[in-house]
Structure 1
Amino acid sequence: MTVRGEVPHVPLSGQGQEQPDREPPTRKRRRKPGWYRPTAVVVDAVGAWVPVYLAVRVSDEVYAMWCAAAAGVAWVAVRGSRRRYAWRDLGERRNSGALLRDWVVLLALLVVMRAVAGEDVPLVSGLAGLLVCLALTAVCQFLTHRHLVAQRRAGRAVRRALVIGEAAALHDLLRHLARRTDHEFVVVGVCPVGDDSPDFVAPVMARLEHQAPALLSGDASPVLAATRELDPDVVFVMSGPGMAGERLRRLSWAVHEDGRPLVVVPGLTEVTQRRVGISSVAGLTLLHVAPPVRRGAAVLLKEGMDLVGSALLLVLFSPLLAVVAVAVCLDSPGGALHRQVRVGLGGRQFSLVKFRTMVSAAEQMREELARTNEHDGLMFKIRRDPRVTRVGRVLRRFSLDELPQLYNVLRGEMSLVGPRPPLPSEVAQYTDVELRRLSVKPGLTGLWQVSGRSDLSWDETVALDLRYVDNWSPAVDFGILRRTVRAVVEGNGAY
Structure 2
Amino acid sequence: MRKPVPVGEPVLGSETRGPSGHARLHAVGPGEKATPRAAAQPWESRYRGYVILADVIATLVVIVSGALLVLDLTGRPYFLHASGTAFAILASLPVNRAWSQHVLGEGTEEFRRLGRSLVAAAVVVALAGLLFGALDVQPWVFYAVPCVALITFPLRYALRQVLHRQRRAGECMHSVIAAGSPRTLRDLIQRTRSESHVGWQVSAVCTATGQGERGTGEIGGIAVAGRLDELAEQVRRGGYRVVAVTSDPHWTPGRLQRLAWDLEGTGAELVVAPVLMDIAGPRLNVSGVLGMPLLRVSAPTFTGGRRVVKDIVDRLGAAAMLALGAPVLLAIAALIKLNDRGPVFFRQPRVGRDGRTFTMVKFRTMVVDADRMRGGLLGDNEGSGPLFKIRRDPRVTRVGAVLRRYSLDELPQLFNVLSGTMSLVGPRPPLPAETENYERAARRKLLVKPGMTGLWQVSGRSDLSWEESVRLDLRYVEDWSLALDMAILWKTFRAVAGGRGAY
Q: TM-score range by the shorter chain?
A: 0.7 to 0.9
Distance 1:58 1:228, change over 3 A: closer
Q: Is 1:6 aligned with 2:26?
A: no
Q: Name 1:204's counterpart in structure 2.
A: 224
Letter in 1 for 2:194: R
Q: Name 1:407's counterpart in structure 2.
A: 415
Query: Is this contact kept in 1: 2:210–2:225, CA < 8 A?
Result: no
In the TM superposition, 1:453-468 aligns within 5 A as 453-468=461-476
Picking from 142, 146, 153, the partner of 1:127 is 142
Picking from 243, 246, 258, the partner of 2:254 is 246
Distance 2:24 2:167 in 1: 13
- How far 1:184 moved relative to its partner? 3.0
Distance 1:309 1:81, change over 3 A: closer
- How far 1:285 moved relative to its partner? 1.2
Distance 1:235 1:465 in 2: 29
In the TM superposition, what whole-angstrom CA distance separates every residue of 1:324-349 from its partner, at most 9, and x where no partner exists? 33332331253222221211112222
Q: Name 1:15's counterpart in structure 2.
A: 36
Distance 1:114 1:411, change over 3 A: closer
Q: Is 1:79 aligned with 2:93?
A: yes
Q: Is 1:173 aligned with 2:173?
A: no
Q: Relative to structure 2, which stretch is displaced further, 110-119 or 283-292?
A: 110-119
In the TM superposition, 1:17-32 aligns within 5 A as 24-26=39-41, 28=42
Q: Is 1:343 aligned with 2:351?
A: yes
Distance 1:464 1:399 in 2: 20
In the TM superposition, 1:43-442 aligns within 5 A as 43-57=57-71, 63-95=77-109, 96-119=111-134, 121-194=136-209, 197-198=212-213, 200-201=219-220, 202-208=222-228, 219=229, 222-256=230-264, 260-442=268-450
Distance 1:90 1:315, change over 3 A: closer
Letter in 1 for 2:454: G
- Which secondary structure state, in structure 2, belongs to the residue aligned with residue 57 of structure 1? coil
In the TM superposition, what whole-angstrom CA distance separates every residue of 1:210-268 from its partner, at most 9, and x where no partner exists? xxxxxxxxx2xx33443355332232222443211222223333333656443322233
Letter in 2 for 1:205: A
- How far 1:106 moved relative to its partner? 0.7
Distance 1:254 1:374 in 2: 51
**Structure 1 unaligned spans of 5+:** 19-23, 209-218
- Which secondary structure state, in structure 2, belongs to the residue aligned with residue 205 of structure 1? strand
Distance 1:400 1:223, change over 3 A: closer
Q: Number of aligned residue pairs: give it.
A: 475
Q: Relative to structure 2, which stretch is displaced further, 388-397 or 58-67?
A: 58-67
- How far 1:126 moved relative to its partner? 4.1
- Which secondary structure state, in structure 2, belongs to the residue aligned with residue 145 of structure 1? helix
Distance 2:417 2:200 in 1: 41
- How far 1:493 moved relative to its partner? 2.2
Letter in 2 for 1:294: F
- How far 1:204 moved relative to its partner? 0.8
Q: TM-score, normalised by structure 1?
A: 0.86
Q: Relative to structure 2, which stretch is displaced further, 463-472 or 262-271?
A: 262-271
- How far 1:151 moved relative to its partner? 2.5
Letter in 2 for 1:130: V
- Which secondary structure state, in structure 2, belongs to the residue aligned with residue 459 of structure 1? helix
Letter in 2 for 1:478: M
Distance 1:437 1:196, change over 3 A: farther
- How far 1:112 moved relative to its partner? 3.0
Q: Relative to structure 2, which stretch is displaced further, 113-122 or 230-239?
A: 113-122
Q: TM-score, normalised by structure 2?
A: 0.85
- How far 1:14 moved relative to its partner? 6.5
- How far 1:64 moved relative to its partner? 4.0
Query: Is this contact kept in 2: 1:342–1:351, CA < 8 A?
Result: yes
Q: Relative to structure 2, which stretch is displaced further, 440-449 or 197-206?
A: 197-206
CA RMSD of aligned residues (A): 3.1
Percent identity of paired positions between Structure 1 and Structure 2: 38
Distance 2:366 2:499 in 1: 19
Distance 1:307 1:332, change over 3 A: same
Query: Is this contact kept in 2: 1:47–1:136, CA < 8 A?
Result: no
In the TM superposition, what whole-angstrom CA distance separates every residue of 1:188-216 from its partner, at most 9, and x where no partner exists? 111112477436122111134xxxxxxxx
